[in-house]
């Protein structure tokens, strides 16, 4: 590794799970995630898909921060929900186990930063002891289409809570975001606080740890907006800065 690379914070990224047509699994990641970390001055390191805790601990050891990426649903059995809910999408025991281990390890450590995106935000809440709404349209209605197919466009408004870390990062109390999810935070974990909500229906759009550690989850997809949306770019810069 070059001297220049060593000076850049190493950010570990979790992969999504993709089932192969002939059987087996792939760990994969959208390029926007690694592009966003690179643009923010970090060095992305995509982790292999594994639930081997010893291997995960060794892989995490050199990382300066963690990025939990978006993807499928979190298994409701992990937070007292109903795994038989007909609105539940695809779940992966392997990914749930991997991400909850990594998140709880850094949360317990209390030092290295964690940024969660969409599913990643939900994982952070579950890891800290919270629960999730399993399907927003059936549980809260359709005032806002949170599964909007315009993934790279700003489609609805979000209110940011003054005095939060997120507020300090984006410098505003209201922004517009993209939206591609059907689950969200329901019961907030005891150690977390809400830092943003959807303006029209109150759905939790961001959470953060109420303390010195950078532990922040955003329900929208800032990686798809980082090159033209300052509030989204600010999240990645903050992660890299906290990892420096």
Q: Are 12 and 67 in contact (CB under 8 A)?
A: yes
At residue 147 the predicted structure's pLDDT band, cuts being 50, 70 and 90, is confident
The answer to whether residue 223 is catalytic is yes
Catalytic residue among 32, 118, 121, 146: 118
User: Who wins on pLDDT, 7 or 74?
Assistant: 74
Print the domain residue range for 24: 3-243
Long-range contacts at 101-110 (CB < 8 A, ≥ 24 apart) = 101/51, 101/53, 101/56, 102/12, 102/14, 102/47, 102/56, 102/60, 102/66, 102/68, 103/66, 103/68, 103/127, 105/57, 105/60, 106/60, 106/66, 106/215, 107/209, 107/213, 107/215, 110/211, 110/213
How many domains are contained in the chain?
1
The pLDDT confidence band at residue 47, using thresholds 50, 70 and 90, is very high
Is there a catalytic annotation at residue 221? yes
Q: What is the pLDDT of residue 234?
A: 97
Residue 1 in this model has a pLDDT that exceeds 60: no
Predicted confidence (pLDDT) at residue 134 exceeds the cutoff of 90? yes
**228: pLDDT strictly greater than 80:** yes
Apex CA 110: angle with CA 109 and CA 113, to 5°?
110
What is the pTM for the complete model shown? Answer: 0.94
Active-site residue among 121, 208, 223, 229?
223
Domain with residue 151: its CATH number is 3.40.50.880
In this predicted structure, the answer to whether residue 3 has a pLDDT above a threshold of 60 is no
* 3-state DSSP assignment of residue 8: coil
- Residue 18 CA to its chain's centroid (Å): 18
The whole-angstrom separation of Cα 25 and Cα 22 is 10
Is residue 184 pLDDT above 90, yes or no? Answer: yes
Catalytic position from the list 146, 156, 181, 221: 221
- The whole-angstrom separation of Cα 156 and Cα 182 is 15
């Amino acid at each position: 590794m070059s001297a220049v690379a060593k000076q850049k914070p190493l950010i570990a990224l979790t992969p999504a799970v993709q089932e192969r047509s002939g059987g087996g699994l792939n760990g994969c990641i959208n390029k926007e995630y690694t592009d966003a970390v690179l643009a923010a001055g970090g060095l992305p390191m995509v982790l292999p898909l594994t639930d081997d805790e010893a291997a995960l601990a060794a892989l995490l050891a050199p990382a300066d921060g963690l990025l939990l990426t978006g993807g499928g649903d979190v298994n409701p059995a992990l937070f007292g929900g109903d795994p038989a809910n007909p609105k539940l999408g695809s779940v992966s025991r392997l990914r749930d186990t991997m991400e909850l281990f990594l998140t709880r390890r850094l949360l317990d450590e209390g030092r290295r930063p964690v940024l969660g995106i969409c599913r990643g935000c939900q994982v952070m809440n579950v890891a800290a002891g919270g629960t999730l709404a399993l399907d927003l349209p059936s549980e809260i209605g359709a005032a806002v289409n949170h599964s909007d197919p315009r993934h790279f466009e700003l489609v609805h408004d979000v209110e940011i809570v003054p005095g939060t870390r997120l507020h300090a990062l984006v410098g505003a109390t209201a922004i517009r975001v993209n939206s591609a999810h059907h689950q969200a935070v329901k019961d907030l974990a005891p150690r977390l606080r809400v830092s943003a909500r959807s303006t029209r229906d109150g759905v939790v759009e961001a959470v953060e740890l109420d303390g010195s550690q950078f532990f922040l989850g955003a329900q929208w997809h800032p990686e798809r907006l980082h090159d033209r949306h300052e509030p989204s770019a600010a999240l990645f810069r903050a992660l890299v800065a906290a990892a420096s």
